[in-house]
């Protein structure tokens, strides 16, 4: 009898232990499911930049799609770190994620130079609208293996490439005088940046590195004759007041930026929150397309008002630009294996031999 009572007592104790562990496990699961992740994203660009200001869409969407478990705070350059330190700070996890463009860190990830503003790489002449151009470029990234290649290269740096966004057509070129031919361009002093300096020099101009904040006065005083930036050259910086000719025919229809996430931080997210962040980043993509489309419509209004005149380059000059661009493609392909693969993908997509 004593032995039976002892057995009953042991069984009861065992059941209580199992119940305690089960309750603890359920409580732990509930706590994990309710955990809030506070994250910071910094833009490469300052307050007022269209892509930076639109980042609020990404943060708000992430919060909504995660039922409040993703709380992303948005910062502009240089709120947390200077722009030239942003890549390293995100890689180290000091900043959780960044919004910027590959050309800024091409010295560390060479294919970044291919990804951002490779001349004519993302021109889609068969697309009739800004939305159609954007859709075609996104399809190339997501469905032709280009995004997979880029993700592999950024992963080597401890970063996850979340998604892309657009900056609209670049280079957006404004001139002080009418331009139709490459003969009109020859010898002009051009405010240009990065690889585009080589691009414009290839058709006879003399590129000069000038800050965009100084370009208005440089154009007004004749320090430069012609200048490039993005659409905000008109909508934000009003360069058309001193350079009223919009030169078209050598630009990418869409120029891409991206969001990079610290791989360490990314790997700590549950799968459902990773999915929520992907969905939020896609919302940001659509927000930038809409925003830059609106900017282009604003420019067309300036054209209709007679304050800006469109100058379309003749075919001979377009061909000259294309020749320089494709020579640059071949040179970029020599950077490393990833760049060579990226260029080949672009050539196959655009039908360039």
Q: Is pLDDT above 80 for 191?
A: yes
What mean pLDDT, rounded, does the chain reach?
A: 92
Q: Are 103 and 194 in contact (CB under 8 A)?
A: yes
CB-CB contact of 235 with 295 (8 Å): yes
Residues with Cβ within 8 Å of 270's Cβ and at least 6 positions away in sequence, in order, are 32
Q: Which two tokens stand for residue 320?
A: 């000259």
Please, what are the domains in the chain?
Answer: 36-167+255-293 (3.40.190.170), 172-252+304-331 (3.40.190.10)
The radius of gyration computed from the CA coordinates of the chain, to the nearest angstrom, equals 26
Contact 207, 225 (CB under 8 A): no
Q: What is the pLDDT of residue 12?
A: 54
Q: Which residues of 326-341 are buried (b: 16+ CB within 10 A; e: fewer)?
A: bebbeebbebeebbbb
Q: Give the range with max mean pLDDT: 13-17, 113-117, 156-160.
A: 156-160
Furthest CA-CA distance within the chain:
111
Instruction: Order the strands of the 97-100 sheet from edge to edge.
Output: 70-75, 37-43, 97-100, 256-262, 159-166
CB atoms within 10 A of CB 252: 23
Written as six digits, the tokens of 97 are: 């994620």
Over the stretch 280-338, which tens digit does the pLDDT of each residue have? 999 999 999 999 999 999 999 999 999 999 999 999 999 999 999 999 999 999 999 99
Q: Return the pLDDT at 48.
A: 86
For residue 246, give Cα distances in angstroms to 118, 143, 179, 300: 21, 34, 9, 11
Q: Span 69-73, mean pLDDT?
A: 98
Q: Looking at the predicted structure, is the pLDDT value of residue 216 above 90?
A: yes
Dihedral sign from CA coordinates of 238, 43, 56, 254: positive
pLDDT in tens, 198-212: 999 999 999 999 988
Would you place residue 39 in the very low, low, confident or very high pLDDT band (cuts 50, 70, 90)?
A: very high
List Cα–Cα distances, 272 to 78, 147, 151, 262, 309, in angstroms: 31, 21, 20, 18, 50
Nearest Cα to Cα of residue 277 among 44, 58, 99:
58
72 forms bridges with which residues in the sheet? Answer: 39
For 159-230, strand residue ranges (E) read: 159-166, 172-175, 189-191, 206-208, 226-229
């Amino acid at each position: 009898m004593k032995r039976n009572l002892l057995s009953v007592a042991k069984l009861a104790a065992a059941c209580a232990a199992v119940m305690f562990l089960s309750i603890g496990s359920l409580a732990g699961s509930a706590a994990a499911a309710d955990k809030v992740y506070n994250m910071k994203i910094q833009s490469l660009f300052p307050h007022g930049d269209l892509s930076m200001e639109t980042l609020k869409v990404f943060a708000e969407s992430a919060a909504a799609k995660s039922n409040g478990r993703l709380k992303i705070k948005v910062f502009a350059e240089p709120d947390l770190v200077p722009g030239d330190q942003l890549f390293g700070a995100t890689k180290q996890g000091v900043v959780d994620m960044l919004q910027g463009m590959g050309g800024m860190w091409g010295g560390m990830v060479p294919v970044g130079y291919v990804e951002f503003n490779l001349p004519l790489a993302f021109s889609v002449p068969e697309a009739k609208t800004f939305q159609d151009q954007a859709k075609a470029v996104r399809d190339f990234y997501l469905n032709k293996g280009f995004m997979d290649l880029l993700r592999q290269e950024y992963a080597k740096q401890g970063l996850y490439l979340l998604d892309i966004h657009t900056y609209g057509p670049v280079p957006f070129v404004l001139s002080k005088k009418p331009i139709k031919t490459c003969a009109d361009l020859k010898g002009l002093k051009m405010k240009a940046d990065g690889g585009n300096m080589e691009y414009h020099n290839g058709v006879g101009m003399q590129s000069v590195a000038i800050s965009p904040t100084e370009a208005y006065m440089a154009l007004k005083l004749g320090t430069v004759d012609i200048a490039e930036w993005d659409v905000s050259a008109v909508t934000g910086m009003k360069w058309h007041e001193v350079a009223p000719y919009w030169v078209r025919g050598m630009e990418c229809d869409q120029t891409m930026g991206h969001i990079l996430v610290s791989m360490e931080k990314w790997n700590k997210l549950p799968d459902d929150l990773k999915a929520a962040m992907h969905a939020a980043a896609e919302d940001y993509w659509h927000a930038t397309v809409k925003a830059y489309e609106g900017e282009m419509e604003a420019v067309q209004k300036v054209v209709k008002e007679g304050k800006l005149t469109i100058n379309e380059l003749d075919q001979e000059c377009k061909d000259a630009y294309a020749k320089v661009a494709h020579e640059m493609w071949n040179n970029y392909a020599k950077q490393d294996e990833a760049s060579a693969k990226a260029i080949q993908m672009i050539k196959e997509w655009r039908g360039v031999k």
